[in-house]
Each structure stands twice: as C-alpha cells, then as structure tokens.
Amino acid sequence: MSVSIGRQRVTAIGWIVRPSAMVRGLAGACAMAWLLAGCTSIDQTNPKPSVEAAALPDAAPKTTGVDSPAIREHKQLVHVFGGEYHSVATEKLLDEVLAKLAVASEVPSIPYKLTILNSPVVNAFALPSGRIYVTRGLLALANDTSEVAAVMAHEIAHVTARHATQRAEIEKQSAVISQAANVIEDRNKGRSFQAYAQLSLASFSRLQELEADRIGVHTIARAGYDPYAASRFLQSLGRSSAMRQSLFGQASVDKPDMMSTHPSTPERIERAIGEARQIGAPGIGEIGRDRYLAAIDGLPFGDDPAEGFVRGVQFVHPKLGFAFTAPDGFVLENSAQAVLGIANGGEEALRLDRVHVPAETTLQAYLVSGWIDGLQEGSVENIVVNGFQAATATAKGSEWTFRLAAIRYGGEVYRMIFAAKTLSDADDRAFRTSINTFRKITPDEAKNVRPMRIDIVTASDTDTEESLVAKMKAADRPLDLFRVLNDVEAGAALKGGQRYKIVTE
C-alpha cells in the first residue's frame, strides 16, 4: 500500500483485513469535510532504482548524511505509527523467530529486519525492502510464538511474491485504524490530504492476500512452527474486530464482499486450515506459548502515556495537564493527532485536537476564519470554560450539523467539534455540557492516571473467567476483552497452571 505523508510516499504491504468500526463510523463525517481528511493513495508502479544502488568504483567519494529511499520510507512509517516500541525480551524472541522464517522463506537472501511499532492498533505490514513491522497491539492479541510467526511469515510472503510491484493500480480508498490526521482547513485543501484514519493495510487484492496466507503457512511449517497458528490468529483477529464493531454500536458483519480487497476472515481461516492439513494433523510444530507470554509480560496496552488516556467517556492527558468528559453513550478512541468519539451507531461524532493560533487572534475571529465550512456566523459567541477563554458556534452541512468550540489553554487552542445528523436541542445541550467539562487537572490527578499493561497470570485450579476478570482494569467490557485476548470461548473452563493475559494498571 502507498500512503502519502505530506509530499512523501510510502509503499507498504500488510496483513489486516477490515477498517475499524470507529473509522467507518467517522467516514460519513469525512464527507462533510471536518473530522477526517482525504483518503489513501495507491501507487504500485515499479520503483526506479536509486542512484545510490548503482555500482560505483571503490575510489568514488562517499555520500554521507543522506537517507536512502528505503530509510526514508521506514522513518515515515515509524513516525505515522507513533514511533518504535522497545523491549529487550520481546525483541530478542521476535528476532529469533524472524531469523528462522528468513531461512525458511522462498527468498532467504533478503535482509529482513523487524520493527515493533508503538501503536495499540492491531496491524502488521512490510516494505518491499524486507522491513517487517508489527504493532504492540498485535503482540497483545497473539497468544503464542507460532501465531506471531504466522503474521510475520505472511508479511514475508508479500515481499517474496513481489506483490508491491505486481500491482499497477489498487482501489483508491482503504481504512484500518481509528486515528485521524489533521482537521482540514478548507474544502480544497481537504481534498488533497491523505487521511490518517484511512491508512489501511487492506490494499492488496483478495487473491494476493490468500496467496500470502498460503505461502505463510508453509513457511512457518518449514521453520518448525505449528502450521495451524495462522488460522488461530485469524480467529482471534475476527473476534477482536467483532468486539470493536459491537463496542462502537455497529453490527458485526464479516461476509465476502466482491468490492473488498481482502477476503473475509472466515474464508481466510478455512483456507489456512486447509493448507495446514496438507502439511499434517494438528499437534505438529512448535507453539511456544509460555515463552511468548513471558516475553510480552508488562507490554503497554492501549493508549501511549505520552498521548493521554481514555477512561470510559473521560479523556485525561497528564502530560498536557487537562481532561474532558464526552457525553454519555460516546465511545472514545485516542491517537497522536486527535481524540475521536462516536455514538448512536455513527449518528453522532466528536473530535478534539489542538492547533497554534497567534495570541493576537481572538477565538471569535478564529472560528470565522474559514477552517470549517458552513459556519453560521450569527451563532458565534465568546464564553469562558473553567477560567479559560473560549468561543463556540454552530455549522451546518447537507447531512451534518456541528457544535464547535475553541478553548485557549497552555499557549495553544483546543478545538472540540461535535457532529450530529440531527442536532436536537437535547443533543446540543449535551455537547455544550461536554465543552464545559474541559478543565485543568491537578498534579495529584496526573500522578494517579497510570497506563494499562498486559499482565501474565497463572490460573489456579479454582480460578474462573470471573475471578481473573476481577483483577482487570479495563474500561469497556473486561469479560469480552479477556476472552478475545486469550482466545477462550464464553463459559469455557480455565486450565489450572495455564498462563493467561489480563489488563491492569
């Protein structure tokens, strides 16, 4: 997939199937040019060899301080996905897995290299250069070494099959992460943006995805891992997607779609099992559950502490020193660029971000400066929010009505944008009440907000789902989260002595 970042372009190939419910729910608001910006652009033309790749005499002067195209792509992707995550134990295990997969791959001469991305989104992808990426969100979902090996083998298969260079053109829009790039400043500029929220790993044809699945299953088998691991992880991926869709108030639908670039999860699972059966019966190959769980013990879960925390309908940013509370019924999702919210199955949405506005520019003047279309100038009013200068107004489009607010805090301006397809008086009161919850937090409050992490616990003979879930600190549906993270069915008895993942602070 090719993702435009400013004027740069990154070509990556990935594993994940479908856009999150958050992204789909906000896509409608994107049409109103306010929450999200643009869409991914796909460029699958054969890359031209760089000058640096040409053979040069040994005596030729060496160029220093200039990144190669591959390094630039790597840096751009790392930046988009929140930087790198480092853990000695985790990296050691995954590097060992990658080394085995490289030898077992169809092109073992490629210099593969793994990067763990500091993102809570479940994603994995690869660059044609052989760089493999997995997010810590994916590591939290996987349950053993063979499952994460299956993901990495799938990405290696994209590289060895040269999928990135085979495609002349792919669909122009795809989506995967519930994060946005920047609030657009005008309609024309908005059309030129590449929406961060549309950044998707679902950019290859269904046949290519199935081919990568097939190659990956045989690669992990040759490397000595359980070939059924791919189907297990896909099952967890499907359950995770279904839970998210349910959480965001949308029905869980995973049926084949002729317009989809990826096959449905059930189809991928069925085919992955079929490929594994050609290799042998279940029970063959290394699984490596205990070592894997030990390697991810303490893995950060959810939001990066540097980007603030979502706790139910409240968002707290200890580093920046503020908090706000969304209206009841909203589900919030945080990113480095903005806090997004959705309610009523996508009928209502919100966004909070910050921008720099010169001190000499009044907030009332900023609201009418043209950064959002359809502003009703007669609705602009100056207000005070918990001691901070602020201004609010309404805007109206063909399908959405907006309640806007700009709050000056800490030398920056925080923008709160609420949208409703039908903005009733009650909705507007709820939105204005939420605006008025924006406040400075105390140092003690900041200290008491701690990040969540994966904690590996060993079940006793008397432990049940409920007893382990009671130890979790998850804001939304902890029982469902426990089942998804551990790939256990509802009501299934836990095994004494077996290790499980819980989420704690």
Distance separating alpha carbons of residues 465 and 79, to the nearest angstrom: 38
Residue with tokens 């589900």: 331
CB neighbour burial string for 113-132, b if at least 16 within 10 angstroms, e if fewer: ebbbbbbbbbbbbbbbbbbb
In the chain, the number of structural domains is 3
Q: Which of 43-52, 211-220, 412-421 has the lowest mean pLDDT?
A: 43-52
User: What is the pLDDT at residue 349?
Assistant: 92
Same domain, 408 and 475: no
Last residue of a domain, one of 447, 471, 495: 447
pLDDT, mean over the chain: 77
Task: Report, as an integer, the average pLDDT of 458-479.
Answer: 88
Instruction: Name the most confidently modeled range: 20-29, 231-240, 473-482.
Output: 231-240
Per-residue pLDDT tens for 295-353? 999 999 987 777 888 888 999 998 899 999 999 989 888 877 789 998 888 889 999 99
What average pLDDT does this structure show over 469-479? 82
Tens digits of per-residue pLDDT, 367-385? 998 888 889 889 999 999 9
* pLDDT of 10 higher than 80: no
Q: Are 148 and 284 within one domain?
A: yes
Q: Domain check: are 322 and 432 in the same one? A: yes
Q: Is residue 141 part of a domain?
A: yes
Tokens read off for 56? 């040069």
Same domain membership, residue 382 and residue 292: no
Select from 274, 300, 326 the last residue of a domain. Answer: 300
pTM exceeds 0.85, yes or no = no
pLDDT over 80 at 358, yes or no? yes
The per-residue pLDDT for 263 is: 64
Among the ranges given (20-24, 121-125, 165-169, 218-222), the one the predictor scored with the smallest mean pLDDT: 20-24
| Per-residue pLDDT, 274 | 95
Nearest to 418 by CA among 34, 27, 20, 33: 34
Q: Are residues 368 and 252 in the same domain?
A: no
Q: Is residue 485 pLDDT above 90, yes or no?
A: yes
Residue 158 shares a structural domain with residue 27: yes
Same domain, 140 and 121: yes
pLDDT tens column, 156-207: 998 887 655 444 344 443 333 333 334 334 443 333 334 333 333 344 467 7
- Distance, in Å, from the CA atom of 491 to the CA atom of 464, rounded to the nearest integer, reads 9
Q: What's the rounded mean pLDDT across residues 437-443?
A: 94
Closest by Cα among 309, 306, 310, 322 to 409: 322
Distance in angstroms (rounded) separating the CA atoms of residues 502 and 458: 10
Domain membership of residue 90 (yes or no) is yes
* Full domain range(s) for residue 409: 305-447
> Do 467 and 496 belong together in one domain?
yes
pLDDT of residue 245: 76
Q: Could you tell me if 391 and 377 are in contact, meaning their C-beta atoms sit under 8 angstroms apart?
A: no
Burial of 413 (C-beta count, 10 Å sphere; 0-12/13-18/19+): buried
Judgement on whether residues 224 and 87 belong to the same structural domain of the protein: yes
Average pLDDT over residues 244-262: 52
List Cα–Cα distances, 453 to 86, 261, 291, 295, 503, in angstroms: 14, 33, 18, 13, 6
Domain edge (last residue) among 237, 270, 300: 300
Residue 61, in any domain of the structure: no
Element (H, E) at 421: none
pLDDT at 9 over 60: no
What CATH number corresponds to the domain at position 480?
3.10.350
Pair (362, 434) in one structural domain: yes
Is residue 143 in some structural domain? yes
Is 145 part of any domain? yes
Residue 436 sits in a domain of what CATH number? 3.40.1000.10
Pair (428, 463) in one structural domain: no
Percent of the chain with pLDDT over 70: 74
Report which of residues 504 and 5 the model is more confident about: 504
Lowest mean pLDDT among 54-63, 64-73, 281-290, 479-488: 54-63
Is the Cβ–Cβ distance between 147 and 38 less than 8 Å?
A: no
Residues 432 and 310 in one domain: yes
| Backbone phi and psi for residue 228, each to the nearest 5 degrees, phi listed first | -85, 0
Distance CA 386, CA 325 (A): 13
Residue 58 lies in a domain: no
Q: Cα(425)–Cα(355) distance, rounded to whole angstroms? A: 29
> What pLDDT score was predicted for residue 337?
79
Domain assignment present for residue 63? The answer is: no
* pLDDT surpassing 70 at residue 130: yes
pLDDT of residue 29: 36
Rounded CA-CA distance 87/254 in Å is 35
The confidence score (pLDDT) of residue 474 equals 64
**Domain contains 382:** yes
Q: What is the pLDDT of residues 41-86, one digit of tens each?
A: 212 222 322 323 333 344 444 445 567 777 887 888 888 787 899 9
